[in-house]
Amino acid sequence: MSGPPIVPIPSPATSTTEAASSAPSPVRKFLTERGSSALGDHAFRWIMLLCALVIFAIVGLILWELVARSQLTISKFGLSFFFKQAWDPVSGDYGAWPFIYGTLVSSLVSLIIAVPLAVGVAVFLTEMCPKFLRGPLSFLTELLAAIPSVVYGLWAVFVLVPLLREHVNPVLMKTLGWTGFFAGPNYGIGMLAAGVILAIMILPIISSLTREVMTAVPHTQREAVLALGATRWEMIRMGVLRNARIGIVGSIILGLGRALGETMAVTMVIGNRPEIVKSLLGLGYSMSSVIANEFSEASDDLYLSALIEIGLALFIVTIIVNAIARLLVWAVTRGAPPRVA
């Protein structure tokens, strides 16, 4: 690799040290007069450290509380709780597997739908959108993020579900039914409906963050690629997306986080059936939904403990998914150093 010869630029610091050592700069003088001191610096440092430690304390407390309060089921079922398919509050037999499955699959479906759409929106907004449209369009995407999830849920029940049942699902069953992922019966509600509503909910998060990252890519990058004779698509692919990929993956992780934890909208359309079905048109259940559904009326201790252990399972799954996502970022960026993070 050969680059241009590096010419050392005299840094402004070295040129002013002489003046600074002989007499305090006017800025320093002003600060000293105001009472700025080493003590203040120290105090500031400790306070900031404390703020950072609070995060550890909160996470630790949550984990401790979840484990302490689910002792009954932990001692009764052990690890098998996480891999068992049972949910019987009458006879007291509990397992988290269908809920873990439902959470993961509905989130995955939502990512598959939302990511291409969100990146597409971001590309359009930053690279090819006429000026008069840019303002309203980005305003609308951000508006989507501000809608409460119960409103999404109601909309899904009254608009999305009938639409899926009458128009989308029959087509899917006809064309892709052979895969087994789109087999009947067609209720309208189910895993696919949950995935679609989640996709709509995480779309604004992913697209607005992606847009921020893409605007941060220097214009020189684009111009350089265009100067080499690239088409517009090649310019976006090589000049923009390649540079912004870490930021894009980061925004996807944030979207995924929301999808994993979303409760109200999902519980209104997923069908709330603790079952593992291959077909996406089938019914499912998610971890946050079962907690929201059954916590308030759970009166016996084992039942309550099982619900809290579902919370623990959600906590663990979120950590694992985040770890995998970080690994993914590391794997993607191992080759070239990131320009925009």
Partner 1 sequence: MKKSTFLAAALIVCTASAGFSQKINGAGATFPYPIYSKWFSEYSAAHPGVEINYQSIGSGGGIRQVTSGVVDFGASDGPMTDEQLKGSKVKIVHIPTVLGAVVPIYNLPGVSTELKFSPDVLADIYLGKISNWSDARIAKDNPGVKLPSTDIVVVHRSDGSGTTYIFTDYLSKVSNDWKNSVGRNSAVPWPKGIGGKGNENVAAMVRQMPGSIGYVELIYAMQNKIAFGYIKNAAGNWVKGSIDGVTEAAATVKQMPADYRVSITNAPGPNAYPISSFTWLLIPIPPKDAGNGKVIKDFLGWMLDHGQSETSGLYYAPLPKSVSDKVRGTISQLQ
Q: Which residues bind partner 1 (CB under 8 A)?
A: 87-91, 157-158, 161-162, 165, 185, 187-189, 267-268, 271-273, 283, 285, 289, 292-300, 304
Question: Under 8 Å CB-to-CB from 270, ≥6 apart: which residues?
Answer: 102, 106, 189, 190, 191, 193, 194, 283, 284, 285, 286, 289
Rounded to a whole number of angstroms, the minimum distance from the CB of residue 308 to partner 1 is: 13
**Number of other CB atoms surrounding residue 321 within 10 Å:** 18
Q: Which helix (H) or strand (E) holds 87?
A: strand 87-88
Residue 32 or 85: the one with the smaller Cβ distance to partner 1 is: 85
In angstroms and rounded to an integer, the radius of gyration of the C-alpha atoms of the chain is 26
Name the residue nearer to partner 1 (CB basis): 98 or 204: 98
Comparison of 119 and 196: residue with beta carbon closer to partner 1: 196
CB nearer partner 1, residue 24 or residue 184: 184
CB neighbours of residue 244 within 10 Å: 29
Which two structure tokens, joined as six digits, stand for 95? 């397992």
CA-to-CA distance for 265 and 157, rounded, in angstroms?
A: 9
**CB nearer to partner 1: pick between 161 and 202:** 161
Would you say 31 or 264 has its CB closer to partner 1?
264
Nearer to partner 1, 187 or 315 (CB): 187
Largest CA distance in the chain: 85
Shortest Å distance, C-beta 257 to partner 1: 23
> Toward partner 1, which CB reaches closer, 161 or 200?
161
We find the least distance from the C-beta atom of residue 272 to partner 1, in angstroms, to be 3
| Cβ pair 325, 298 in contact under 8 A | no
CB of 318 to partner 1, least distance (A): 23
Handedness of CA 106, 112, 115, 116 (dihedral sign): negative
Q: How far is the CB of 190 from partner 1 (least distance, A)?
A: 9
The single-letter code of the amino acid at 126 is T
Question: For the range 126-135, what are the long-range contacts, defined as Cβ-Cβ under 8 Å and sequence gap of 24 or more?
Answer: 126/211, 126/214, 126/215, 126/240, 127/214, 127/232, 127/236, 127/240, 128/232
Give min distance, CB of 58 to partner 1, in A: 24
Give the nearest distance from C-beta 261 to partner 1 in angstroms: 17
Min CB(307)–partner 1 separation in Å: 10
Helix (H) or strand (E) holding 192: helix 191-215
**Which residue in the block uniquely carries the two structure tokens 């690629």?**
225
